[in-house]
Structure 1
Protein backbone atom coordinates (compact mmCIF):
# COMPACT_ATOMS: atom_id res chain seq x y z
CA UNK A 1 0.00 0.00 0.00
CA UNK A 2 1.46 3.31 -1.04
CA UNK A 3 -0.49 6.52 -1.02
CA UNK A 4 0.19 10.18 -1.54
CA UNK A 5 -0.37 12.23 1.61
CA UNK A 6 -0.27 15.93 2.36
CA UNK A 7 1.78 17.22 5.27
CA UNK A 8 -1.53 18.12 6.93
CA UNK A 9 -2.69 14.50 6.67
CA UNK A 10 0.60 13.29 8.14
CA UNK A 11 0.28 15.83 10.97
CA UNK A 12 -3.08 14.28 11.92
CA UNK A 13 -1.24 11.02 12.68
CA UNK A 14 0.82 12.44 15.54
CA UNK A 15 0.07 9.87 18.27
CA UNK A 16 0.26 6.08 18.55
CA UNK A 17 -3.55 5.96 18.69
CA UNK A 18 -3.77 7.92 15.41
CA UNK A 19 -1.17 5.82 13.57
CA UNK A 20 2.01 7.80 14.38
CA UNK A 21 3.32 8.78 10.94
CA UNK A 22 6.71 10.37 10.36
CA UNK A 23 8.30 11.75 7.21
CA UNK A 24 11.84 10.88 6.17
CA UNK A 25 13.08 12.42 2.92
CA UNK A 26 9.58 12.74 1.47
CA UNK A 27 8.47 9.21 2.36
CA UNK A 28 5.84 8.55 5.03
CA UNK A 29 6.35 5.79 7.58
CA UNK A 30 3.75 4.38 9.99
CA UNK A 31 5.53 3.90 13.30
CA UNK A 32 2.75 2.96 15.74
CA UNK A 33 3.60 -0.76 15.65
CA UNK A 34 7.34 -0.05 15.85
CA UNK A 35 7.56 2.29 18.85
CA UNK A 36 8.13 -0.52 21.34
CA UNK A 37 10.82 -2.11 19.14
CA UNK A 38 12.73 1.13 18.49
CA UNK A 39 16.21 0.76 20.02
CA UNK A 40 16.29 4.47 20.86
CA UNK A 41 13.03 4.19 22.78
CA UNK A 42 9.44 5.14 22.08
CA UNK A 43 9.79 8.68 23.42
CA UNK A 44 11.75 10.04 20.45
CA UNK A 45 9.32 8.59 17.92
CA UNK A 46 6.38 10.05 19.78
CA UNK A 47 8.12 13.44 19.82
CA UNK A 48 8.47 13.54 16.02
CA UNK A 49 5.10 11.97 15.24
CA UNK A 50 3.24 13.76 12.48
CA UNK A 51 6.35 15.70 11.44
CA UNK A 52 9.33 15.56 9.12
CA UNK A 53 11.94 13.62 11.09
CA UNK A 54 14.60 13.53 8.35
CA UNK A 55 17.16 15.62 10.25
CA UNK A 56 16.80 13.59 13.46
CA UNK A 57 16.78 10.28 11.58
CA UNK A 58 19.99 10.89 9.63
CA UNK A 59 21.76 12.16 12.74
CA UNK A 60 21.53 8.69 14.33
CA UNK A 61 20.97 6.24 11.46
CA UNK A 62 22.49 5.26 8.13
CA UNK A 63 20.88 4.16 4.88
CA UNK A 64 20.94 0.46 5.80
CA UNK A 65 18.45 1.10 8.62
CA UNK A 66 16.01 2.69 6.20
CA UNK A 67 16.44 -0.15 3.68
CA UNK A 68 15.82 -2.72 6.41
CA UNK A 69 12.61 -1.21 7.78
CA UNK A 70 11.09 0.66 4.81
CA UNK A 71 9.33 -2.36 3.28
CA UNK A 72 7.44 -2.96 6.51
CA UNK A 73 6.81 0.63 7.64
CA UNK A 74 6.47 2.81 4.53
CA UNK A 75 2.87 3.76 3.75
CA UNK A 76 3.37 6.44 1.10
CA UNK A 77 4.96 9.67 0.03
CA UNK A 78 4.36 13.34 0.70
CA UNK A 79 2.37 14.99 -2.05
CA UNK A 80 3.58 18.31 -3.40
CA UNK A 81 1.25 21.03 -2.21
CA UNK A 82 0.37 24.09 -4.24
CA UNK A 83 2.04 27.27 -3.06
CA UNK A 84 -0.39 30.16 -2.90
Structure 2
Protein backbone atom coordinates (compact mmCIF):
# COMPACT_ATOMS: atom_id res chain seq x y z
CA UNK A 1 0.00 0.00 0.00
CA UNK A 2 1.42 3.33 -1.06
CA UNK A 3 1.05 6.48 1.01
CA UNK A 4 0.51 9.97 -0.39
CA UNK A 5 2.80 12.78 0.77
CA UNK A 6 2.90 16.51 0.24
CA UNK A 7 6.25 18.15 -0.44
CA UNK A 8 5.99 19.76 3.02
CA UNK A 9 5.58 16.35 4.66
CA UNK A 10 8.62 14.96 2.83
CA UNK A 11 10.66 18.00 3.91
CA UNK A 12 10.20 16.94 7.54
CA UNK A 13 12.02 13.67 6.84
CA UNK A 14 15.61 14.83 6.69
CA UNK A 15 17.22 13.29 9.78
CA UNK A 16 17.84 9.70 10.79
CA UNK A 17 15.42 10.13 13.71
CA UNK A 18 12.54 11.23 11.48
CA UNK A 19 13.59 9.07 8.53
CA UNK A 20 15.39 10.40 5.48
CA UNK A 21 13.12 10.68 2.45
CA UNK A 22 13.84 11.94 -1.04
CA UNK A 23 11.58 12.63 -3.99
CA UNK A 24 12.42 11.30 -7.45
CA UNK A 25 9.83 12.38 -10.01
CA UNK A 26 6.56 11.65 -8.18
CA UNK A 27 7.93 8.88 -5.94
CA UNK A 28 8.93 9.21 -2.29
CA UNK A 29 11.84 7.00 -1.21
CA UNK A 30 13.05 6.22 2.32
CA UNK A 31 16.84 6.23 2.01
CA UNK A 32 17.56 6.08 5.76
CA UNK A 33 18.91 2.53 5.84
CA UNK A 34 20.26 2.67 2.27
CA UNK A 35 22.46 5.76 2.66
CA UNK A 36 25.46 3.84 3.99
CA UNK A 37 25.17 1.33 1.11
CA UNK A 38 25.07 4.02 -1.60
CA UNK A 39 28.05 3.53 -3.95
CA UNK A 40 28.54 7.29 -4.17
CA UNK A 41 28.64 7.60 -0.39
CA UNK A 42 26.09 8.48 2.26
CA UNK A 43 26.98 12.18 2.34
CA UNK A 44 25.22 13.09 -0.92
CA UNK A 45 22.05 11.23 0.02
CA UNK A 46 21.94 12.78 3.48
CA UNK A 47 22.40 16.22 1.91
CA UNK A 48 19.35 15.62 -0.32
CA UNK A 49 17.13 14.21 2.44
CA UNK A 50 13.78 15.93 2.66
CA UNK A 51 14.09 17.37 -0.85
CA UNK A 52 13.30 16.68 -4.48
CA UNK A 53 16.37 14.86 -5.77
CA UNK A 54 15.03 14.20 -9.29
CA UNK A 55 17.48 16.44 -11.13
CA UNK A 56 20.50 15.05 -9.29
CA UNK A 57 19.27 11.45 -9.51
CA UNK A 58 18.78 11.50 -13.29
CA UNK A 59 22.12 13.20 -13.80
CA UNK A 60 23.95 10.13 -12.45
CA UNK A 61 21.49 7.23 -12.79
CA UNK A 62 19.21 5.59 -15.34
CA UNK A 63 15.80 3.93 -15.13
CA UNK A 64 17.35 0.54 -14.30
CA UNK A 65 18.73 1.91 -11.04
CA UNK A 66 15.35 3.30 -10.04
CA UNK A 67 13.63 0.03 -11.00
CA UNK A 68 16.15 -1.98 -8.95
CA UNK A 69 15.50 -0.08 -5.71
CA UNK A 70 11.85 0.97 -6.04
CA UNK A 71 10.36 -2.08 -4.36
CA UNK A 72 12.76 -1.81 -1.43
CA UNK A 73 12.80 1.97 -0.89
CA UNK A 74 9.60 3.52 -2.25
CA UNK A 75 7.18 4.49 0.52
CA UNK A 76 4.69 6.55 -1.44
CA UNK A 77 4.02 9.27 -3.96
CA UNK A 78 3.90 13.05 -3.94
CA UNK A 79 0.41 14.51 -4.23
CA UNK A 80 1.63 17.86 -5.53
CA UNK A 81 4.33 18.97 -7.93
CA UNK A 82 7.67 19.42 -6.24
CA UNK A 83 9.82 22.41 -7.07
CA UNK A 84 13.29 21.63 -8.34
Give the TM-score normalised by structure 1: 0.92
**Aligned: 1:31 with 2:31:** yes
Q: Deviations over 1:27-71 (max 9, x none)?
A: 000000101100000000011000000000001101000000000
Matches within 5 A, 1:70-81: 70-80=70-80
| Structure 2 unaligned blocks of 5 or more | none
Runs of 4+ in 1 over 4 A off after TM superposition: none
How many residues align? The count is 81
Point out where structure 1 has 5 or more consecutive residues left out of the alignment.
none
- Provide the aligned C-alpha RMSD in A: 1.1
The question of 1:64 aligning with 2:37 is answered no
1:17/1:32 contact within 8 Å kept: no
TM-score by length of 2: 0.92
